[in-house]
Structure 1
Amino acid sequence: MVRFETFMEQVVDRGEYRSLDEADRASRVVLALLGAHLIGRTRAQLAALLPEAFALILLNPLPAAQPLNAERLVRATAAWIEGATEATALWDIGAVLSVVADIAGPDLMAQVLMQLPADWPPLFGLPEHADAA
């Protein structure tokens, strides 16, 4: 499990946030939306690698009524973060999900991507067809 401070330092660095609060808010929203798309063992394995506060968010989301493609994920993120635009939401998603991808490693990320819409890999900073490897 990654320590909370380590996770947040990486998100702050990648997102170039001015405060820990901004990075924390983005992390919570993005991980809740991610968790709504993952099920079973894959979600549990990913949660086990995250700091406890974020693991709980990933494990206890409201289930997605239908999968959000990348464009709808960006819109949903913008709607949940006060003052966000689609451009800043895309930045937030990239900052958080790239840290998640690094923590998960390639094998678990392949499992994660199998449960997500096909246009999500770039949101993690991965090539479009990372799950085909």
Structure 2
Amino acid sequence: MDCDEFIARVRERGEYRSTDEAQKITEDVLEVLGQRIDAGQAEDLASRMPDPLGRALTGPGRRQPEEFGIEEFYRRVADRTGARPRTAQWDAGAVLTTVADSVTGGELDRFVSRLPAGYAVLFGRADPAG
């Protein structure tokens, strides 16, 4: 899937008003995800993403991964997007289910299994802890 198709899917799923809004939300969600995962995971996932979206995971400001749960993930997305946490949850789901569409099942399952409880549902997977 190319970048335009990826953003079009996010726009449709998130019911955003414009392509620019969908693009910004996508970059914000991926940047927060990039804060949570280690460099190897970020590089691997970025290699499966259309350019330039993968760079949001591996950007120049990347530091050591931080450990935080799903509620903190939503809070960080909300801070970046200026939305409420419930809207941030919607935004994250729109982006990450689209990520799931661009990564093969086994690869995605391995990636998601390394995240804490609660993240799987954002990728359209059953939460093994729930």
TM above 0.5, one fold?
Answer: yes
- More moved, 17-26 vs 114-123: 114-123
Q: Which runs of 5 or more structure 2 residues have no equivalent in the other structure?
A: none
CA drift at 1:13: 0.8
Give the match for residue 80 of structure 1: 80
Q: Which has the higher contact order (CA 8 A, sep 6+)?
A: 1
- 1:20-99 equivalence runs, <5 A: 20-60=19-59, 62-63=62-63, 66-82=66-82, 84-99=83-98
CA drift at 1:73: 0.6
Tell me the distance in 2 between the aligned counterparts of 1:64 and 1:125. Answer: 27
Please tell me the root mean square deviation across aligned C-alpha atoms, in Å.
1.9
CA drift at 1:65: 5.7
Give the match for residue 18 of structure 1: 17
Q: Deviations over 1:91-115 (max 9, x none)?
A: 1000000000111121111221133
- More moved, 26-35 vs 54-63: 54-63
Q: Indicate whether 1:122 and 2:121 are aligned.
A: yes
Tell me the distance in 1 between the aligned counterparts of 2:112 and 2:65. Answer: 18
Tell me the distance in 1 between the aligned counterparts of 2:78 and 2:123. Answer: 17
Normalised to the residue count of structure 2, the TM-score between the two structures is 0.87
Q: How many residues align?
A: 128
Q: Which runs of 5 or more structure 1 residues have no equivalent in the other structure?
A: none
Normalised to the residue count of structure 1, the TM-score between the two structures is 0.86
8 Å contact kept, 1:42–1:111? no
